[in-house]
Chain A
Amino acid sequence: MTDASLMPAAGATALAPRKPNRTWTKLKKNRSAMVGGVVVVLFVLIAILAPVLPIPSPSATDWGKIRLAPSAEHWMGTDEIGRDILSRMIWGARASLMAGVISVMIAVMIGVPLGVLAGYFGGWTDQIIARATDALLAMPFLILAIALAAFLGPSLTNAMIAIGLSAVPIFIRLTRGQVLSVKTEDYVEGARAIGLGHLRIMSHYILPNVFPPILVQATLTIATAIIAEASLSFLGLGQQPPLPSWGSMLATARNFLSQAPWMALWPGAAIFMVVMGFNLLGDGLRDALDPKET
C-alpha cells in the first residue's frame, strides 16, 4: 500500500460537499418557524438600530401635540404629553428584548449547571436540588416574579433578575431529566472508562448532548419573559418612567382609552407579535430537533 493509492480517496473526501445540517434543513422547510424567525430578527434589528434611526427622542415632549391620532408626521400618533409613540415603541423594543434575553440567560446560567449536577451525581445532590426545584415550581411564575421585584425594588434590572430567578427551576428540571437519560449512554460510559474527570465528562460529553432541548426551552421562555417584563412594567415594577417600555406604555394608555385608543393598540400589538415570533420559532426548533419528526 503506497501513499499514492490513498490519495484519490483522501482527495474525494476533501472535495465532497459538506452534508447540510439536518436541523437547519428541517427548520427551513417549516414555514411558520421561518415567519417567526423573520419577525424576531426584524424586532432585534429595530432594537439594535434604535439609536441611529431617524426618529425623535422617545422622551421629547411637545405640549402642542398631545394625544394626536396616527398621521403622516406621527405614524403611530402621540401620547398624553406629546411624545412620538413610534419612537417610544422602537426604544421599548430594546427594553423588552433585552429583558427577555437577559432574564433567560440568568435562568440558563443558574439552572443548567444545577440540573447537570443533580442528574449526573444523583443521590443527595439530586434530592436536595430536585426538592428545591419542586418548591420553586410550586410558586407561580408571575407571583414569584412580582414578589422578588417588590423585594428587590422597581427597576428594569431588578425585573430581569426577578424573571430570571423565577425561570431557573424550569431549566433545572429540564436539564436534570435530559442528563438522566444521557448519562447512561455508551459514550459517557466510555469517557468514564478512560478515566476522564467528572467536570470534563459533564462539560464535553453531557452538556453538548442535552443542549438542543435547552435551546428550544430558552426560545420559548424568552416569549414568556417578554410578557412577564411587560406585566411587571405594567404594574410599575419594571422599567421606570420616563424610559419607554411596552408594558408601562400600556399602563398609561389605560387611562386614555376613549380619548386615544391608539396609545393602547401599538404596544400590545408589538408584544403579541414578538411573543408569537418566539413561540413559532420555538415550536419549529422543537420539531426540527426531534428525530421522530420527518
Chain B
Amino acid sequence: MLRYITNRVLVAIPTLLLVSIFVFMLQKLLPGDPILVLAGEDRDPETIAMLRELYRMNDPLIMQYLYWLGDVMRGDLGISLRTGLPVTELIVQKLPVTLQLAVMSLTFALLIGVPAGVMSAVKKGTFWDYLANFIALSGLSVPNFWLGIMLILLISVNLGWLPASGYESPWVDPVRSFQTMLMPSIVLGTALAATLMRHTRSSMLGVLQADYVRTARAKGLREKTVIRYHAFRNALLPIITLSAVMFGELLAGAVLTEQIFTIPGFGKMIVDAVFNRDYAVVQGVVLVTATGFIVINLLADILYVLLNPRMRANL
C-alpha cells in the first residue's frame, strides 16, 4: 500500500512541475512589458532599470522561472498589483468562502444525484428512469449562470424567500449564511447532481447483474435488502471517488456562481483580477486550483484503493 501511495505521489510531482511551468508561461504570454506598467506614466529609465533588477527581468527565462518557483515553494505567490497585498494572503482570505460553497453544492448534488441514480437503475426502462435521465441531461445542458439568474428572478425577486446576493460567514450568523448560500449551492450543484445521477445509474446497473446480487435474491432476501445492502454498497465505491474528483471542479465552477450571487470568494477574485489586469492574482489562483485538483485526484485514487478490498489485495 505504501509503495502504491509513493508511486502515485512520484507521478504527481512532474505533473505539478509542468503546471508550474504553464502558469509561469502565462505571464510571459502577456502582450507588452509588465515593467512599463509598473513604472507608471513617467517611465523614468532609472525606475525601469531598478524594477527590472528587482523583478529579475534581466536574468535568463529559466532563471526567472527557478526564482519564481523558489518563491512559490516558500508560499510567496507575488503581490497583487491592485490591492498591494500578498496574493497568498488574498487566497487564504477568499478560499474558505468558496470551500463553503463547494461543500454545500456537493452535499446538494449527493442528496439529489445518488438517490435519483439508484431509482433510475432499479426502475430501468420505466417512466421514472426516462424522467430521471431527462432531468439529468437537462442539468448537464443548463448554463449555471442562467439557472442562477432564473432562480434569483423566481425565488428572490418574485417570491422574496431568499436573498439574491451577498455573503455572511457561518461563524457570525449560521442561519443567514445558510440562506445566502442555498441558491448558489443549488446552481453550482445541479450539473454535479446530473453527473452523479448518470454514474450512479451506470454503476448500479453493473452491480445489479453481478453474481452476488443474484445469489442474494436466490437466498430469498427482500428486494429492498438486496438493493440497499448488496447492490448499493458496492455501487457506491466509484461514486465516492468521483465525488472527490468533482469537488476540485466545483472550486473552478464557482467562478460564475460567485459572480452572479456577488459572493466574495475565490472565483469572483479571479474575475476581478482579470479585469484589473492583476496577473499575479490570476497566476496564483490558477496555480492553487490546479495544485488542489492534483492533490484531490491523488487522494481520490488512494481512497479508492483503501475502500476497495479487491484493489488492496492486488497491490
- Interface residue ranges, A against B (CB under 8 Å): 131-132, 134-136, 138-144, 146-153, 223, 227, 230-231, 234-237, 250, 253-254, 257-258, 261, 264-265, 267-268, 271-272, 275-276, 279-280, 283
Contact = CB atoms under 8 A, between A and B. Distances in A.
Contact of B18 (A135, A153, A235, A267): A135
The listed residue with most B CB atoms (<10 A of its CB), out of A139, A148, A231, A267, is A139
Contacts of B140: 279
Nearest to B154: A261
A35 to B, nearest CB: 11
A272 B22 contact: no
B137 A280 contact: yes
Interface string B10-52: 0000111011011000100111000000000000000000000
Contact of B146 (A149, A250, A276, A283): A250
B149 A140 contact: no
Nearest to B293: A138
A258 B138 CA distance: 26
B142 A140 contact: no
Interface stretch (B60-68, B226-234, B248-256, B299-307): B248-256
A276 B270 contact: no
A268 B290 contact: no
Contact of A272 (B26, B143, B275, B294): B143
B293 A272 contact: no
Given A138-B291, A147-B282, 15 more contacts: A138-B19, A139-B286, A139-B289, A143-B289, A144-B286, A150-B274, A230-B145, A235-B256, A250-B145, A258-B153, A264-B146, A272-B146, A275-B141, A279-B137, A279-B141
A280 to B, nearest CB: 7
Contacts of B143: 227, 230-231, 268, 271-272, 275
Nearest to A236: B275
Interface of B: 14-16, 18-19, 21-22, 26, 29-31, 137-138, 140-143, 145-147, 149-150, 152-153, 157, 248-249, 251-253, 255-256, 259-260, 270-271, 274-275, 279, 282, 285-286, 289-291, 293-294, 297
A134 B275 contact: no
Contact of B19 (A135, A253, A268): A135
Contacts of B29: 151-152
A279 B139 CA distance: 11
Interface of B is mostly: helix
A153 B145 contact: no
Given A146-B270, A230-B143, A136 B22 contact: yes
Contacts of B289: 139-140, 143
A70 to B, nearest CB: 16
Contacts of B274: 146-147, 149-150, 235, 237
A142 B275 CA distance: 16
Given A146-B274, A258-B157, A261-B153, A138 B15 contact: yes
Contacts of A276: 137-138, 141
A147 B145 contact: no
B282 A150 contact: yes
A-B complex: 3 closest residue pairs judged by Cβ atoms: A140-B252, A268-B146, A135-B18
Contacts of B294: 138
A132 B149 contact: no
A135 B201 CA distance: 30
